[in-house]
Amino acid sequence: MIPNAGSTSADLHELAQRHHTAYRSVGAMVYGLLQEAILSGTLRPGQKLRQETLAEQIGVSRLPVRSALIQLESDGLVEFHDRRGATVRSISPDQAREVYRIRALLEVDALKQSMKRSSPERVKRLRELAKAADGQHEGPEFVEARTQFYAELYDAEHNPITWEMIEQLRLKMGRYVLGWRVVGGSHTHSHEDLVDAFASGDATKASALLRKHLAEVLKGVLSWLDAEATGTD
Chain contacts with its own copies (rule: CB under 8 A): 24, 66-67, 70-71, 74-76, 82-83, 95, 98-99, 101-102, 105-106, 109, 159-162, 164-165, 169, 172
Residue type for position 210: L
Residue 18, class by beta-carbon neighbours within 10 Å (0-12 exposed, 13-18 middle, 19+ buried)?
exposed
Contact partner, 16, from DNA, its own copies, none, Cβ < 5-8 Å per class: none
Distance CA 51, CA 112 (A): 44
Q: Say if residues 104 and 211 touch (Cβ distance below 8 Å).
A: yes
Q: Does 27 bind DNA (CB under 7 A)?
A: yes
Q: Does 88 bind DNA (CB under 7 A)?
A: no
Least Cβ distance, residue 105 to its own copies (angstroms) = 5
Which residue of 2, 5, 10, 63 would you call a contact of DNA, by CB under 7 A? 63
Q: Phi and psi dihedrals of 86, rounded to 5?
A: -120, 155
CB-wise, 14 or 164, nearer to its own copies?
A: 164
Phi-psi category of residue 59: left, alpha or beta, with phi > 0 → left and psi -120 to 50 → alpha: left
**Could you tell me which stretch among 82-90, 98-106, 107-115, 199-207 binds DNA (CB under 7 A)?**
82-90
CB-wise, 153 or 156, nearer to its own copies?
A: 156
**CA distance between the termini of the chain:** 28
Query: CA 18, 20, 21: angle at the middle one, nearest 5?
Result: 85
Least Cβ distance, residue 32 to its own copies (angstroms) = 15
**Could you tell me which stretch among 5-13, 36-44, 54-62, 210-218 binds DNA (CB under 7 A)?**
54-62
Contact partner, 141, from DNA, its own copies, none, Cβ < 5-8 Å per class: none
Beta strands at 48-49 and 78-80: parallel, antiparallel or unpaired: unpaired
Count Cα atoms within 13 angstroms, Cβ side, for 61. Answer: 4
CB-wise, 8 or 51, nearer to DNA?
A: 51
State the residues that interact with DNA by CB under 7 A: 25-27, 49-52, 60-64, 66-67, 80, 82-86
